[in-house]
Amino acid sequence: MNALNLKALGNSTAAELLRLRKWSAIWVIVGAWLALSLSFGYVFNYVAYKTGDDNFAGDGAGNAQLLAELMPNAIPDVIVSGLPMFGGALAMVVGALVAGNGFGWGTWKTVFTQGPSRSAAVGGSLAAVSIFIFAMMTATLVLCAGVSVAIAATEGQSITMPALSDLAQSFGAGFLVLEMWALLGFLVGVLAKGPALAVGLGLVWSLVVENLLRGVGSLLAGIETVTEALPGTAGGSLAGAIIGGPNGTPGVLDAISGERALITVAAYVLVAAIAAVVVMRRRDLA
Amino acid sequence: MNELVVETDGLTKRYGDRLAVDRVSMTVMRGEVYGFLGPNGAGKTTTLRMMLGLIRPTAGSASVLGRPAGGPEVTARIGALIEGPGFYPYLSGRDNLRTMARYQGLPATEVDRVLEMVDLADRAKDAFKGYSLGMKQRLGVAAAMLGSPDLLVLDEPTNGLDPAGMADMRALVVSLAEAGQTVILSSHILAEVQEICDRVGVINDGRLLRESTVAELRGGATLRVRATPEDAALAAVMQLAGDEGVRRIGNETLEVDLPVTAAPEVVRHLVAHSIDVHEVTVAERSLEDVFFEMTGNNKELVS
Ligand SMILES: Nc1ncnc2c1ncn2[C@@H]1O[C@H](COP(=O)(O)OP(=O)(O)OP(=O)(O)O)[C@@H](O)[C@H]1O
Ligand SMILES: [Mg+2]
């Protein structure tokens, strides 16, 4: 029976991957993510470095710092910097689209009448989203590596790669943060039975409400214990722990320790996945 | 042969204070085409959804292929199109079927087979969102047939099809039935059910009014005899069919409650009494007549 379930899960994952791969909306989101990562990670800083070099010849210290952040050595910091802000938001949109559209389109209904158990079908969808997020993170890493090596070569700097362990740690943390937001988006898509409300509410929550709460939380101790448990705080603090503290990028925090942030993010991933499966198993599907 | 494929017991679904399905107990036998007939809002789709485990009954139960409805071991053996096709709009017809085939672990050849069956192979590369209503409907039937299920459940499969499309769909169901396929087909079109179904369940207002073969439902055919002089003819026929068995229906015509096989005897008898027989016809009650009698609600029905 267990082998059968695994097979059904594998079939469902393969089916979901096929239809995600051919969905242009998803690729638009990936494109947006890569473009934003590139812009905020490299393009703006590089332009600042170049223009700074010309205009303030004496200001060597600031420029040296800028250049250091563009070098391959800094990849672990760069790939997690954008996550708390736009990375999480985009991942959430992916999750909400994948789960939410199935109601309006009637595709959940069609899938459930094809034979897989609801757990297998929803599990397969969650697995496909996770694989997709992993691929998105990998593409980010490859892009950042390529660009930073190119900058180093152009600027005549020696190419020093970061330690593999640092890179792995950063990649893992980045994947977990994106995964958390994607699965939360998936869950909200399931609860809202559609993508529009889910995307709207999800973005307002992750971009606005959490920030406001953190603002209030610094004044009121009671609220602070709540904000410390929120996904945005956890994701931001995990990124902060990798970078070594807030670096001026919005959303990168040091509100909670890296360890606690890791546990909180992992807990959200698990809870969101289980809740999505449980709700879909029990639901009447009109 | 009389193996039960579907058996529901007091199946009930309540939405708020509306009883969408009210204690429906129906049976579908292996190898038959079962017509599920009822006007809009009668509860056809709701009953079929419970049969597939898409929604849970408020009360009662359904057993399909010998097991409780809704489990994966049952749904894997059913193919269904319920209340319109649900597909990914951005995918082509073929990729939609490939996705659904993957969910069942079926090979891609299965996709080509069902595309041919619904005559959609030449448009299979086009995006689903660009399909006409009829093409979408046919893709839905194709998805239902993936993996040659033991039971095919088609909820108003001719919905949105033009007359030629309807005829094709009926021919498809008939050919499947000839190959031994068990089909449940819901419809509000009487002619359709009459034409292709072996047995019918008539549902109205959530209640199953009757379940029987199409022939039984229509009742026996009756004879109509036009003969003169009419009074003498009436007296003569009463000797054969009894006083209650004959009625005047106007235009010198009598309606006789005798089987069609009795026609020669009736004619001989009348001729022996020197009565002129002008015309003998067989009058069949249509399913439509029967349906109207049963439901008293016919406004939404099309024949
Ligand atoms: N999800 C729902 N919520 C509330 N009421 C519902 C729901 N689904 C069905 N109903 C009600 O149940 C009744 C039966 O609906 P159902 O869709 O089963 O009818 P039907 O026989 O399939 O009709 P049609 O020929 O129009 O498809 C209707 O009165 C409908 O309004
Ligand atoms: Mg219906």
Does residue A49 sit within a domain? no
- Nearest Cα of chain A lies from the Cα of B148 at a distance, in angstroms, of 11
Best residue among B15, B49, B155, B302 to mutate for probing ligand 1's pocket (most ligand atoms within 8 Å of CB) is B15
Q: How far is CA A273 from CA A57, A95, B243, in A?
A: 54, 11, 76
Does residue B144 sit within a domain? yes
> What is the Cα–Cα distance from B168 to A25, expressed in whole angstroms?
36
Element of type H or E holding B107: none
Pairing of the two strands B151-155 and B182-187: parallel
Claim to verify: residue B237 and residue B209 sit in the same structural domain? no
Does residue A141 sit within a domain? yes
Does the beta carbon of B204 lie inside 6 Å of ligand 1? no
B9 falls in which pLDDT band (50, 70, 90)? Answer: very high
Atom of ligand 1 nearest to the CA of B48: 18
B301 falls in which pLDDT band (50, 70, 90)? Answer: very low
Q: Which residues surround ligand 2, an ion (CB under 5 A)?
A: B 45
Q: Where are the alpha helices (DSSP H) in chain B?
A: 44-52, 72-75, 93-104, 108-117, 133-145, 163-178, 190-196, 214-218, 230-241, 263-272, 287-295
Q: Which of A229, A225, A226, A256 is nearest to A241 (CA)?
A: A256
Does residue B291 sit within a domain? no
Does residue A46 sit within a domain? no
Q: Is A140 exposed, middle or buried (0-12, 13-18, 19+ CB in 10 A)?
A: buried
Q: What is the reported pLDDT for B303?
A: 41
Does residue A45 have a pLDDT over 90? no
Claim to verify: residue B153 and residue B269 sit in the same structural domain? no
What CATH number has the domain bearing residue B45?
Answer: 3.40.50.300
The whole-chain average pLDDT of chain B stands at: 89
pLDDT tens-place string over residues B33-49? 999 998 889 999 999 99
Residues B125-154, mean pLDDT to the nearest whole number: 95
Does residue A44 sit within a domain? no
Does residue A95 sit within a domain? yes
Does residue B152 sit within a domain? yes
Does the beta carbon of B42 lie inside 6 Å of ligand 1? yes
* B20 CA → ligand 1 middle, Å: 6
Contact present, A141 and A133 (Cβ < 8 Å): no
Q: In this structure, which residue's CA is closest to atom 29 in ligand 1?
A: B41
Claim to verify: residue B207 and residue B229 sit in the same structural domain? no
Does residue A30 sit within a domain? yes
User: Which structural domain range is residue A77 located in?
Assistant: 3-35+71-282
Does residue A266 have a pLDDT over 60? yes
What dihedral do alpha carbons B97, A133, A84, A52 form, nearest 10°?
Answer: -110
Claim to verify: residue B58 and residue B138 sit in the same structural domain? yes
Listed residues B159, B189, B217: the one ending a domain: B217
CB contact under 8 A, A114 and B143: yes
The tally of domains found in chain B comes to 2
Does residue B296 sit within a domain? no
User: Which structural domain range is residue B225 located in?
Assistant: 220-283
Phi (first) and psi of residue B209, to 5 degrees: -80, -40
Does residue B289 sit within a domain? no
Does residue B224 have a pLDDT over 50? yes
The tally of domains found in chain A comes to 1
> What is the Cα–Cα distance from A253 to A215, expressed in whole angstroms?
13
Which ipTM score applies to this complex? 0.90
pLDDT tens-place string over residues A49-105? 888 755 554 455 577 888 888 888 889 888 888 887 788 899 999 999 999 999 999
- What percent of chain B stands above pLDDT 70? 94
Does the beta carbon of B300 lie inside 6 Å of ligand 1? no
B297 falls in which pLDDT band (50, 70, 90)? Answer: low
CB contact under 8 A, A22 and B87: no
Claim to verify: residue B234 and residue B201 sit in the same structural domain? no
Question: Is A231 or B301 the better-scoring residue by pLDDT?
Answer: A231
Residues B194-212, mean pLDDT to the nearest whole number: 90
Whether pTM > 0.95 for this model: the answer is no
Question: Chain B residues with CB inside 8 Å of A8's CB?
Answer: 72, 105
Does residue A144 sit within a domain? yes
Chain B 171-190, CB below 8 Å of chain A: which residues? none
Cis peptide before B229 (omega within 30 of 0): yes
CB contact under 8 A, B91 and A22: yes
What CATH number has the domain bearing residue B267?
Answer: 3.30.70.100
The radius of gyration of chain A's CA atoms, rounded to the nearest angstrom, is 21
